[in-house]
Chains A and B, each alone.
Chain A
Amino acid sequence: MSAALKLTDLSKTFPVGKRLFGAPKAGVKAVQPLSLTVEKGETLGIVGESGCGKSTLARMLVGLLPPTTGQIEIDGAPLDNADPATFGQKIQYVFQDPISSLNPRKTIRQIMESPLRYLHGMDAKARTARIAEIFAAVNLREEFLDRYPHEFSGGQAQRIGIARALAAEARILILDEPVSALDVSVQAQVLNLLADLKKKFGLTYIFISHDLAVVEAVSDRVAVLYFGSVVEVGPADQVFAAPRHPYTKLLADSAPVVGRPLAVPEAKETELPDPLNPPQGCAFRARCPRATEVCGVAMPPLETHDDRVASACFYPY
């Protein structure tokens, strides 16, 4: 296997308190320098709670946000500072809200034609043929092409979003909460479709979600994000079944599971650390049952424990 996507020290700091000219007053580190590798044909799940930097990371990966540091390599070739159109042919994005990712004033045909036209310069005849091909692959009827987005259910709209991403002929798809807006029965339909497409076109997925069960069901490997850093990464069947990092354990214990009594994994109210005033040392310290003074001094590095799981904690389970 070779790496489809390689991130090296990728980070993003958002300026806050901007001034008209000159440097901003402060910065929020939405994504701390992180390095990850995604193999060809792999599905890497990314989980974490709201505000932990999932979408910022995703938007950097498709070129919608310039990274503050680090670089992105696709198939061994670096891709920094390119514009979204260059990214678009290699890596595409499927959005969380299927309806709002489609322009309400365009027909589905116009929406589908954009990537063919502007990324691949196809003529009208080639476009029609290609759209027919893609629609067949995602089980959509061609008569939908002349309708407007509001005429579709969430599940159908998400298929259209996936079809648009396929039209760009990128081999890597970033799926940002692709099923969280859908009902469970439709969610399963879309997840199964994604699995089929992956096999058929040899795609590589980065699957972002806050739903641990969904991520576990679809991913080969999972990375857990907390406060902009990867705190644990490893095979999907191990990360939640036998968490090493205390935060991963907290997540796994909090998820409601049939047949497990209601547990209160965190007794006291705790808030996420303040991004404007980040804590010293381990960001999870205030919530961590295993924390000691050591944790307040330095950031724990992401270390591999056996060859499969890596976690960023001084006292892993």
Chain B
Amino acid sequence: MSFLRLLSRNRLALAGLIVMSVVVLLAALTPLLPLPDPDVTNTAERFKKPFSEGALLGTDHLGRDLASRLMWGTRLSLAVGFAAAVAAATIGAAIGVIAGFYGGRVDNVIMRGVDMLMGFPYILLALAIVAALGPGLMNALIAVAAVNIPFFARNIRGVTVGIAHKEFVDAARLCGMSNARIIITEVVPNVIPVIVIAMSTTVGWMILETAGLSFLGLGSQPPQADLGSMLGEARSALITNPHSSVVPGAMILVIVMAINLLGDGVRDALDPRLKSGALSRPMPTTMVRRTDPVPQPEGDGILSLRDLQTQFHVKDRIYKAVGRVDLSVRPGEFLGIIGESGSGKSVTALSIMGLVASPPGVITGGAVHYKGEDLIGAPYATLRRLRGDRVAYIFQDPQATLHPLYTVGAQLIEAIQSHHRTSTSEARARAIELLKSVRIPNAEARVDNYPHEMSGGMRQRVGIAVALANDPEVIIADEPTTALDVTVQAQILALLGDLRRERGLAIIFITHDFGVVAQLCDRVAVMYAGRIVEEGPTDAILNAPAHPYTARLMACVPELGQGRRQLAAIPGLPPVVDKLPAGCAFADRCPKAASACRSGDIALGALGPARKIRCIDPEIPVQEATA
């Protein structure tokens, strides 16, 4: 059902679907319709004009009824086209699955053969096959199917290679399944959507190709009508009696266009990347719908978040990903945000510059002040000026930031030139300097590398170089070192530390690693279920966590140097943010939960002069926090 809904969101595809349904229905009903025999010649009645008595679309050069021939011809063309598509898809997919699954020499031999077939011009190959087999509709079908097999084989092979290397295939092997069984039960069910996509985008062309062969007289033989042969036979009367060519020609046009529009729609609807609603075009900045009064700037932070609320509106559900978050950084300050996945760290970070995808994201309240100016609801031009220039992002996955088809140098130069008017040679010199500053060895040569030519650690450092390109005042780093090895991580943390000292850079550093927070951040905020539950100076919190969640989270993280031990796990899972309980979100997992914890909202209150906590029963007494 959802597939049809997705498909119908694409107007053109819907139109294609409707047209094709009508055509197919008519073709299916042709034998039942009161049509004259399509093959009976009546030379006295030749070339009757359309809309004349007894012949709705006129007659052809032998006086045969064109309407009837069109219906029967369409029926045949569709049938042959579909049959060729099914044959090509089945054989091509089988070849592709086998080559992709077994790999190595099998793959090599098969794919060389396929490449050889693909080396021939397409239609020439089809002609050669028909020439060898002799004319006839069946042979045309074989030829069209054969020339399309390589296309399927290649596509399906690519997908199969991906699946054959998936861990579940290894798991199936270890469960004692034979290769044949693995192919049938593990691989094929996962490639079927791709086969359907490939078929739906090519069946139109196959109909056209069959028509082409018939047009040349190599397909359907007289008197049998298909669209191509009708066109071919009408060729000599093109000038004198154009209607006999226009009728089949128009039908071919309609069918091929409708099928291709429909095929594109099917592809888009089946493509998993687009399933999440991404088919609707995202807005350039996050949608803002604030009803409460906008908070005023406060304090001396260069960037401060006040009461920020970001939600995702998906169908009838509201996910409160960020629920009234207050945060602020001063120049030269490092603020850590720590929390488990889904706690709202990334959405908080993306909300700052309006980078949360809308739909479904909506900022429903609060403000983000950059030097006193509210960025929430700021015009796109303002945000674009600041993005990457004054406020830069570093993401966990450098692949998502770097374009695979441009060299890292080109991307750095573009980052610089989009905010500053500099000559390309100057920008290039600056790019090399930046790469050196993130300790890329041999930067003069590496600047011309493509992202895939670098290791993951190096790509991540390039991502950091891009962030540094315009000397930003604030960097928002979302787990920038989580995917890196510890030795590389140590270098990058050191680099960020240098930048703070040298340039007074402020950083909001998102992580789930207490060790990183301890070594890098002045202050830390702990998030749980979209809200800050504890905030304060890093040392104070790590030495004496006040919120039960912070304490338990720290206890379940093993730390180097403590030897072999049992870990204190937190039972259960965090709540889903579309169904937040009343009161404390941690209550279900908290050993100290009391009825007061669940009755009403618990505010983020002060704990001593520097700390804040959202709990009615902190782990440490207030005096201790003051001390």
Contacts and interface: CB of A to CB of B under 8 A. Distances in A.
A106 B340 CA distance: 29
Contact of B562 (A49, A189, A217, A253): A217
B108 interface: yes
B112 interface: yes
Nearest to B170: A64
A212 B558 CA distance: 9
B292 interface: no
B566 A88 contact: no
Nearest to A210: B485
A151 interface: no
Nearest to A85: B176
B512 interface: yes
Given A240-B561, A264-B490, A266-B491, A153 B573 contact: yes
Interface in B474-525: 485-487, 489-491, 493-494, 497, 512-516, 518-520
Contact of B556 (A18, A184, A263): A184
A54 to B, nearest CB: 12
Contacts of A210: 485-486
B445 interface: no
Contacts of A87: 174
Contact of A216 (B170, B518, B564): B564
Contacts of B556: 184-185, 187-188
B166 interface: yes
A84 B175 CA distance: 8
Interface in A216-234: 216-220
A147 to B, nearest CB: 16
A100 B171 CA distance: 10
Contact of B189 (A93, A105, A257): A105
A262 B340 contact: no
B515 A100 contact: no
B324 to A, nearest CB: 23
Given A20-B105, A185-B553, A49 B174 contact: no
Nearest to B494: A264
A104 B190 contact: yes
A104 to B, nearest CB: 7
A219 B174 CA distance: 25
A254 B490 contact: yes
A137 interface: no
Interface in A258-298: 258-266, 268-272
B560 A250 contact: no
A299 B323 CA distance: 58
Contacts of B487: 49, 250-251, 254, 265-266
Contacts of B108: 18, 20
Interface string B302-328: 000000000000000000000000000
A258 B518 CA distance: 5
A160 to B, nearest CB: 11
A191 B190 CA distance: 32
A107 B167 CA distance: 16
B175 A103 contact: no
Contacts of B341: 183
A62 interface: yes
A92 interface: yes
Contacts of B553: 184-185
Contact of A217 (B172, B564, B573): B564
A102 interface: yes
A258 B564 contact: no
B573 to A, nearest CB: 6
A53 interface: no
Contacts of B441: 269-271
B569 A185 contact: yes
Interface SS of chain B = helix
B167 A258 contact: no
A236 interface: yes
B567 A192 contact: yes
A134 interface: no
Interface residue tally of chain B, by bracket? 35 or more
B606 interface: no
Contacts of A216: 558, 560-564
Nearest to A102: B168
B486 A255 contact: yes
Contacts of B67: none
A262 B493 contact: yes
Contacts of B493: 256, 262
A150 to B, nearest CB: 11
Interface residues of A, number: 80
Interface string B61-102: 000000000000000000000000000000000000000000
A284 to B, nearest CB: 12
A165 to B, nearest CB: 8
B360 to A, nearest CB: 19
A115 B176 contact: yes
Contacts of A164: 171, 175
A32 to B, nearest CB: 20
Interface in B115-133: none
Contact of A240 (B166, B181, B439, B560): B560
A197 interface: no
A119 interface: yes
B559 A257 contact: yes
A103 B558 contact: no
Contact of B485 (A49, A183, A258, A262): A49
Contact of A266 (B455, B490, B514, B563): B490
Interface string A114-144: 1100110000000000000000000000000
A252 interface: yes
Contact of A88 (B112, B175, B560): B175
B560 A20 contact: no
A118 B562 contact: no
B56 interface: no
Contact of B340 (A96, A183, A250): A183
Given A20-B112, A266-B490, A269-B441, A258 B542 contact: yes
Contacts of A115: 174-176
B479 to A, nearest CB: 12
A237 interface: yes
Contacts of B610: none
Nearest to A149: B168
Given A256-B518, A266-B491, A271-B441, A217 B175 contact: no
Interface string B159-171: 0000000111011
Contacts of A187: 556
B30 to A, nearest CB: 39
A299 B186 CA distance: 44
Given A184-B553, A260-B519, A192 B569 contact: yes
B560 to A, nearest CB: 4
B109 interface: yes
A118 B181 CA distance: 11
Contacts of A168: 174-175
Interface of A: 18, 20, 49-51, 59, 62-64, 84-85, 87-89, 92-93, 95-97, 100-106, 114-115, 118-119, 153, 155, 161, 164, 168, 183-189, 191-192, 195, 210, 212-214, 216-220, 236-237, 240-241, 250-266, 268-272
20 contacts: A50-B485, A93-B170, A102-B171, A106-B185, A106-B186, A115-B175, A118-B176, A119-B176, A183-B340, A184-B556, A186-B573, A195-B566, A216-B563, A236-B564, A237-B563, A240-B561, A254-B489, A257-B519, A258-B559, A262-B494
Given A85-B173, A189-B571, 15 more contacts: A50-B485, A63-B174, A64-B170, A64-B173, A88-B174, A103-B186, A106-B185, A184-B553, A210-B485, A254-B487, A255-B560, A256-B513, A256-B518, A257-B559, A266-B490
Interface of B: 104-105, 108-109, 112, 166-168, 170-177, 181, 185-186, 189-190, 340-341, 439-441, 455-456, 485-487, 489-491, 493-494, 497, 512-516, 518-520, 542, 552-553, 556-571, 573
The 4 A-B residue pairs with the shortest CB-CB distance in the complex, in nearest-first order: A256-B515, A118-B176, A188-B556, A188-B569
